[in-house]
Amino acid sequence: MGKSSKYEAKVPDENGVIHYTDAEHAVWADLYKRQMEIIPGRVCTEFLQGLEALNLPADRIPQPNDVSNVLRERTGWEVAPVPALINFDRFFKLLSEKKFPAASFIRTREEMDYLQEPDIFHEIFGHTAMLTHKAFADFTEAYGKAGLQASKKERVFLARLYWFTVEFGLLGAPDGVHIYGGGIASSPGETIYATESPEPIRRPFDPIDALRTPYRIDIYQTVYYVLNSMNDLFELAEQDLIGLIRKARALGQFEPTYPPKEKEAA
């Protein structure tokens, strides 16, 4: 969140409407169509129910106000349009106020498959469906409040908890694992990889273990944590997250399960 981005934020007008070009709407339409063909049978029931409730348009970028209207009714949340990257203080404050920060730009066609910073497709398609679910919404709010209290070093550990739940969380199911994390659900490649590949490690979710697990943002994940049920997040929202971080710090981080990042040529 402290890095720069080549993308510029779209600023809502006086009525809260963000104006996109036809080309940008077309990017959304293609991303939406592609992902809707892949996620059935791979995302969890709660995710699909959230998408149904949101009724996102297939042919244009949804307006934050429209998404917020559904979220407010379901869980009291809303969407807050933000620039491509925001600092941690603002990020945690928004979450603590039940406002989900959504970058207002959409990726270019050159970065349809992967971009490092989250865009409006990742934020709206990937995340807001689960914010219609109370357990997920309550945990996200508790996470924001913990982040406001955390020190700079504690926030490094806290970022891991977000990564392995909100972004890359899996849910156990009789037929294997299903996706609830937005980082997976908005990525066609990782949707299939996370649920079907024999390569990654899938560990039962334990918050201390997740807090001790390093990760890379530029590769498919080598480790996923699997909830027994969404009620696990209800229970986690009631715990002392800062206390859990201190326990994890005392134990030390796990050895990385991924290769070191290659150094760029000078």
Q: Which one of 133, 167, 178, 190 is the catalytic residue?
A: 167
The pairing of strands 223-227 and 201-204 is: parallel
Residue 19 among the catalytic residues: no
Task: Please state, as a whole number, how many other Cβ atoms lie within 10 Å of the Cβ of residue 191.
Answer: 18
Say if CB 231 and CB 135 are below 8 A apart.
Answer: yes
Q: Which one of 68, 104, 186, 187 is the catalytic residue?
A: 186
Q: Which one of 78, 117, 127, 141 is the catalytic residue?
A: 127
CA dihedral 198, 128, 148, 3 (to 10 degrees): 70
Q: Which one of 104, 122, 141, 154 is the catalytic residue?
A: 122
86 phi and psi angles, rounded to 5 deg:
-125, 160
65 phi and psi angles, rounded to 5 deg:
-60, -40
CA distances from 24 to 46, 55, 56, 119, 163 (A): 29, 19, 16, 12, 28
Say if CB 155 and CB 206 are below 8 A apart.
Answer: no
**Beta pairing partners, 43:** 179
Eight-state DSSP code of residue 86: -
Q: Which residue reads 């297939």 in tokens?
A: 58
Residue 122 among the catalytic residues: yes
How many residues can be counted in the chain?
Answer: 266
The residues annotated as belonging to the active site are 122, 127, 167, 186
